[in-house]
Amino acid sequence: MTHDKITDRITDQLSDPTGAMAEATISHLGELRDRFAERATTAGLVDVGYRTVDSPFGPLLVAATAVGVVRIAFDMEGHDAVLATLAERISPRIIRPTGGLGAASTLDDAARELTEYFDGRRQRFALPLDLRLTRGFRRSVVEHLPEIGYGRTASYAAIAAAVGHPAAVRAVGSACATNPLPVVIPCHRVVRSDGTIGAYLGGSDAKRALLSMEHASAEYRPAEAPARRAH
């Protein structure tokens, strides 16, 4: 292709950004992105992979490391802001992987299990988890939360007592509010002592809907195998 023809092609594309040429360019860029993601994953150059998963409350951002799922975020948290935080706290080598290697495989498993959960076909998650984003007392709370059974609730005060700090009721609330893995680690099952639902990362409506869904289906589904131990 001559220089003039190349120039004419670029000019046509710029003058008609919504035309077939622009669509072909966008498609080509998508292919290049997927190829880059696949090669980066194969070469072990990705520290955090991510994807989105549909939910009744909008798209969920799901991020995973080589250890396991490290972050789940509601749309209202701002996915770009969450990714920026992951880049700061874990690694800037973040990508949306393709294929079934490394984090991509974990992300595919997470998408499947989340879909099953929202469809009422799963009571317990069996995903590897990476809890590096929570530490100290908050981590002890987060690690205890899966012990609250599907379709059940526990008060903030009860959780504080269960982790050995009965006076730390507000700190339990803070731990739930900063839970890096909502839904999978069920902070939505923690309610106030008076029975009101309290705050939630995904909003009070989402928390109420999750509790209602679990309560409605808990009696009709057998318990599943325990979740894998988090790291």
Evaluate whether residue 23 is within a structural domain: yes
231 — pLDDT class (breaks 50, 70, 90):
low
**What's the pLDDT at 227?**
44
**What's the pLDDT at 118?**
97
Evaluate whether residue 76 is within a structural domain: yes
Same domain, 52 and 37: no
- From 44, 98, 51, select the one nearest 70 (Cα to Cα): 51
197: domain CATH number?
1.10.10.10
Q: Average pLDDT in the 19-29 region? A: 53
Same domain, 199 and 158: yes
**What's the pLDDT at 228?**
46
> Could you tell me if 95 and 192 are in contact, meaning their C-beta atoms sit under 8 angstroms apart?
no
Evaluate whether residue 60 is within a structural domain: yes
Dig out the tokens for 31 from the structure. Answer: 């292919």
Of the given ranges (79-88, 102-111, 120-129, 188-197), which has the lowest mean pLDDT? 102-111
Q: How far is CA 45 from CA 70, 74, 86, 117, in A?
A: 17, 27, 16, 32
Dig out the tokens for 200 from the structure. Answer: 């939630």
d(CA 82, CA 75): 10
Evaluate whether residue 129 is within a structural domain: no
Of the given ranges (92-96, 113-117, 206-210), which has the lowest mean pLDDT? 92-96
- Looking at the structure of the chain, the number of domains it has is 3
Evaluate whether residue 166 is within a structural domain: yes
Q: Which helix (H) or strand (E) holds 196?
A: none
**What's the pLDDT at 149?**
95
Q: Average pLDDT in the 89-102 region? A: 80
pLDDT > 50? residue 225 = no
Evaluate whether residue 127 is within a structural domain: no
Catalytic residue among 114, 133, 168, 187: 187
For 36, the domain range is: 3-42
Q: How far is CA 115 from CA 59, 109, 122, 173, in A?
A: 12, 10, 9, 27
Work out the burial of residue 195: count CB atoms within 10 Å of its CB; fewer than 13 is exposed, 13-18 middle, 19 or more buried: exposed
3 state SS of 7: helix
Residues 6+ apart with CB under 8 A from 155: 190, 191, 192, 193
3 state SS of 188: helix
Mean pLDDT of all residues belonging to the chain: 83
Same domain, 208 and 145: yes
Same domain, 76 and 32: no
Same domain, 111 and 147: no
**Active site includes 187?**
yes
> Could you tell me if 181 and 231 are in contact, meaning their C-beta atoms sit under 8 angstroms apart?
no
